[in-house]
Structure 1
Amino acid sequence: MRIFALKSCDTCKKAIKALRDAGHDPDIIDVRADGIADGDLDTIVEKFDTAALNKSSTTWRDLDEAEKTMPIRSLLTMYPKLMKRPVIQNGEVWTIGWKEDAQAEHL
C-alpha cells in the first residue's frame, strides 16, 4: 500500500492514522519532498483525470488563466501539491481523497 500525500495535510494525516490503526503499514510518498514518479503520475492522471486536481486549493486559485488550461500532467509536474490527496494505491486499487468510498475500500 502506498499513499501519495503531503506531510502538512490534515486529511492525509487522518488517512494515515486510520490505515495504521487498521493494521496497514503504508509507504508514504510526500509529493512535495519526494516528487511523483512518472509512471505513478501517468496512472493518477489516467485514473482520475480532472478529479486529480485540488481546485479548491490556494495553489489553484493563484494560477493564472493560461496555467489553468494546461494539461493535468503538466500542472501536477510543476505543482505537485496541486494534486487532490491522499491518493492511495493498494495493489490494483487506486482511490483519491479520504471520503467514505476510499475508507470503505481500504479499512
Structure 2
Amino acid sequence: MTDLTTSTDRDHIQRTVNQHREPQTTIVEISSIKDLSPTVKHLVLRITEKPVTISFKAGQWVDMYIPGVDTVGGFSICSSPIHLRRTGELSLSVKASDHPPASW
C-alpha cells in the first residue's frame, strides 16, 4: 500500500513518486477563484489547448507546475470528467498550507 499522507519532510512529488502519471503537460488558465472558507479556495481552471485531450477519473489529482513556484503541488480534482468534456474546465478545492503551491 502506498502512503500518500501529508508529511512535512516530503513534498508531493516525493510522496507520489510510485504513482502512474500521464506524460502530458497541459497549459491552463485560472478562470475563477472563490473563497469557500477562510482556508479553502475553489479554483476553476480552463484548459487553453483545443481540443481538450486530458481525461481523469473521480478521485484523481493533478500535478500543478505553477510559474514562479519551484515546488510542484498535487491537488484533487473536485469536478466531474463529464464537466471537463462539456466545458473544457476542471475545478480544484485547495486548502491553504505552508506548502508553497498552497500558501496564500
TM-score by length of 1: 0.26
Quick one: higher RCO (CA 8 Å, sep 6+), 1 or 2? 1
Of Structure 1 and Structure 2, the greater strand share is in 2
TM-score by length of 2: 0.27
